[in-house]
Amino acid sequence: MSAGFALGNLASVVEIRSEEADLVSALKAGSEDAFASLVAQYHQPIYGVVARVLTDPEDAPDVTQDVFLKVFRHIRNFHGESSLRTWMYRIALREASNQRRWWFRHKGREVTMEAQQSADSGQPTLCLKDTFEDEGISPFESAAKAEIRLRVETAIRQVPEPFRSVVVLRDLEGLAYEEIAEILHVRMGTVKSRLARGRAVLKENLANFVMTTLRRPSRTSATSIEHGLREEVG
C-alpha cells in the first residue's frame, strides 16, 4: 500500500512538472492567456509574501505588479533549475528587499503618525481584510481574530531581516525547508536557525499583547488567544 502511495505521489509530481513546463513554454512564446493563468494562480501567494516582508504593506500592490512584470520580461531566462514557484518567490523577495531599502532612504523619513493610528485603532488594512476574511463565526470571535491577526502582522514586520522572510515563507506560506533554502541560496541549517531566531523575536514582540489581553475581564480566554496565535504563526 505504501508503494502505491509513493507511486501516486510520484505521478502527481510528474504531472505538476509537465503542467509547469507547458505553462513556461507558453509564457516564453508570449501567450497572454498563459500570463493571465500565471497571475491567477500565483497572485495571492506572491502578494501575501510581499505584504508581510515590506515595511509598509500599502506598497504591496505596486511591488506585486513589479514582480509579475519581471517574471514576464525575464521568463526566457528561466531554464528549470528550480520550480517556477521557487523562482517567482525569489524575485518577490528581491523586489521587496529593494522596496525596503527605498523606504528607509526616503519614505522612512516621513512622519508616520497616520499609519500608527491605523494600527492603534485596530483597523486592519485592506490587504489583511481580503486575505484573512473569515465567515461563519460570531461578531465577537471575528473581532478577536481580526485583532490577533493585525497584531501578528504588525509583530512580523518588526522581526528584522533575514529572519522575517524565513518566518513568512515557512509559517505563513507553508514552504518546505528545502524550498526556502533554494529561494534564499542558503543551507538548510541556516534556514532552521533563522526560523528559530525569527520565531523567538516574534514571540517576544507578541508577549505584551498576550499579557494585556489575558488581563481583560470577560474577554478572550487564554486558550483562545493561544489557539489564535498558533493559527497565525504556525
pLDDT of residue 6 exceeding 90: no
Residue span of the structural domain in which 153 resides: 114-234
Residue 163 pLDDT: 93
pLDDT in tens, 105-158: 655 455 444 444 444 455 545 444 454 444 555 555 666 667 777 888 888 888
- The secondary structure of 66-101 as a DSSP string is HHHHHHHHHGGG--SSS-HHHHHHHHHHHHHHHHHH
Give the CB-side neighbour count of residue 107, counting CA atoms within 13 A: 14
Domain CATH number, residue 82: 1.10.1740.10
pLDDT computed for residue 104 by the predictor: 63
- Across 96-129, b (16+ Cβ under 10 Å) vs e yields beebbeebeeeeeeeeeeeeeeebeeeebbebbe
Number of domains in the chain: 2
Using pLDDT thresholds of 50, 70 and 90, give the confidence band for residue 234. Answer: low
Do 94 and 165 lie in one domain? The reply is no
- 67 and 131 inside one domain: no
C-alpha to C-alpha distance for 83 and 148, rounded to whole angstroms = 34
Q: State the pLDDT at residue 40.
A: 92
Q: What is the pTM of this model?
A: 0.61
Q: Is the pLDDT of residue 82 over 50?
A: yes
Look at residues 75, 95, 110 and tell me which one is the last residue of a structural domain.
110
Which of the four pLDDT bands, split at 50, 70 and 90, describes residue 101?
confident
Q: Which residues contact 90 (CB under 8 A, 6 or more apart)?
A: 82, 183, 184
103 and 189 inside one domain: no
Is the same domain home to 125 and 212? Answer: yes
Q: Residue 194 belongs to a domain with what CATH number?
A: 1.10.10.10
- Give the model's pLDDT for residue 80: 82
Q: CA 138, CA 142: separation in Å to the nearest integer?
A: 6
Residue 102 has pLDDT above 90, yes or no: no
